[in-house]
Structure 1
Amino acid sequence: MSEDSRLEQWVKASISTAKFDAFMMPNIQSLGRLDVNLILEDRRLIKNFDKNRNDLEANVALTDHVTTSYLWVLGAYEAVRTMTQRTNENKELVSESMRQEFVRVKKAFNRVRVPLAKMEPAGAHKATDSHIAYPGFNFESGVAWRVSEDTIITRRDLSDQLLDLLEQQRSEQIRRSNDT
């Protein structure tokens, strides 16, 4: 998928978020633009990894990229958390199955967000997860965090889940408006 088409997906999907809050739409569009930029940087880093392995400037750039990815996760989590909260407060906003999708995606984000932000394992994973989300790099998807011995979560997977959620929400919203 091209960067332009992914950004277009984010913009289209963001339209359905205005029902949660008037300022949600531009926030989601900004997260989408940042997502596209992070994907491009992931690709560049993957392509040049061997060449830049011992280059100080490249390592600083990688550290900055991991930090920006971390901040993207925190910001995207807050958007998901807010939308999930609104679906719980107003059952008319979305269908029950859609509300459950919001909860599922929030939990996916939360598993990495809690150790990133609070330096403790997410509540549902206290018995298995580390108190630190150890940063790493997946050579297919880019920046990732190890949250347990056998679980690695990539930023790209989280962004794909959020984008898919918003596209589902948009489709449901269109269906609901056509039914009325």
Structure 2
Amino acid sequence: MNDWKAEWETLQGQASQIERLIAERAHNIFEKSGRHHGNSLEHWLQAEKEVLNFLLSVVHSQLFEQQSKWVRISHKLANLFPRNAPEQMGCVMTIQKLARFELEIVKKDTAFWINRLRQIPEQPLELDDILTHSYLWVLGAYEILRTLAAATGHPRLIQAKRMFARIRMPLAKLKASEKYSEKDFNFPYPITKGPCIGWAVNERDTVLRDALSSEFLKALDEFCESLGMAAEIRGDRQES
């Protein structure tokens, strides 16, 4: 029988806020199960099921909130373009497609994490598929930031673009980004941390995909707010 209580307590020390919430709930469930029912396999399996259901409910709530942010951002950006212009429709559609792509990645991340905790053998190429999807997501999100940063020169977009470039450059071109060329690997090592995929960019630093997602949304939101809802993006700047 797996010692789930120990598994969750191990996670607690390195988890994010959302993971700590899950770990605390799991700890309480198994404590209660042990006090009232002993350590019988039947009751431990029931406690395990309760923990997993709670975990999934938290993840689904988190996903709904994240998807809502993406939709709001896409509509904010739409107001920065001339009404009914092709760029307006293209911007909204591209960002919402990227949001749906992220939804699928998070579902795969979560399923992979749960199976690991339950010590279910990894399926062939399961992790490779998650890494491939995460890689493609990074490329797509980077292009949005690069295009908007080139069109506006806005410092917040440039800042976010550079954060993405630290991952995008070695993933796509097999060399560290220029800013970090002296300390980063020419190719980042994939890692998993809780229910999230990320990359070790050097011996000390890691970048998680969900951190990139948060930076993407924050940068676009701050960009929209700084220009005002009636502002329009001008296309007369040269791409960098």
Does structure 1 residue 128 correspond to structure 2 residue 183? yes
CA distance 1:65–1:59, shift in 2 (3 Å): same
Q: How many residues of Structure 1 are paired with residues of Structure 2 in the alignment? A: 164
Which amino acid counterpart does residue 32 of structure 1 have in structure 2?
Answer: A
TM-score (norm 2): 0.63
Does structure 1 residue 144 correspond to structure 2 residue 198? yes
Which amino acid counterpart does residue 7 of structure 1 have in structure 2?
Answer: Q
CA distance 1:154–1:63, shift in 2 (3 Å): same
Which amino acid counterpart does residue 116 of structure 2 have in structure 1?
Answer: F
3-state SS of paired residue (1:101): helix
3-state SS of paired residue (2:176): coil
| Offset of residue 158 of structure 1 | 0.3
TM-score (norm 1): 0.82
Percentage identity across paired residues of the two chains: 28
Alignment root-mean-square deviation, CA: 2.0
Equivalent-residue separation in structure 2 for 1:81 and 1:46 (angstroms)? 32
Does structure 1 residue 2 correspond to structure 2 residue 62? yes
Structure 2 counterpart of 1:73 = 138
3-state SS of paired residue (2:187): strand
> Which protein has the larger Cα radius of gyration, Structure 1 or Structure 2?
2
3-state SS of paired residue (2:125): helix
Q: Relative CO higher for 1 or 2, CA cutoff 8 Å, sep ≥ 6? A: 1
CA displacement, residues 12-52 of structure 1 (integer Å, 9 cap, x when unaligned): 10123333632112101111111122222222211211445
Q: Counterparts in 2 of 1:17-166, with a 5 A limit?
A: 17-18=77-78, 19=80, 21-22=87-88, 23-51=90-118, 54-55=121-122, 58-88=123-153, 99-139=154-194, 141-166=195-220
3-state SS of paired residue (1:2): helix
Which amino acid counterpart does residue 16 of structure 1 have in structure 2?
Answer: K
Equivalent-residue separation in structure 1 for 2:106 and 2:135 (angstroms)? 14
Equivalent-residue separation in structure 1 for 2:163 and 2:103 (angstroms)? 20
Equivalent-residue separation in structure 2 for 1:37 and 1:149 (angstroms)? 30
**Structure whose residues are more often strand by fraction:** 1
Equivalent-residue separation in structure 2 for 1:45 and 1:54 (angstroms)? 10
Equivalent-residue separation in structure 1 for 2:187 and 2:72 (angstroms)? 35
| Offset of residue 9 of structure 1 | 1.2
Which amino acid counterpart does residue 3 of structure 1 have in structure 2?
Answer: L
- 2:190 and 2:198 in contact (8 A); partners too: yes
Structure 1 counterpart of 2:55 = none
Equivalent-residue separation in structure 1 for 2:66 and 2:139 (angstroms)? 21
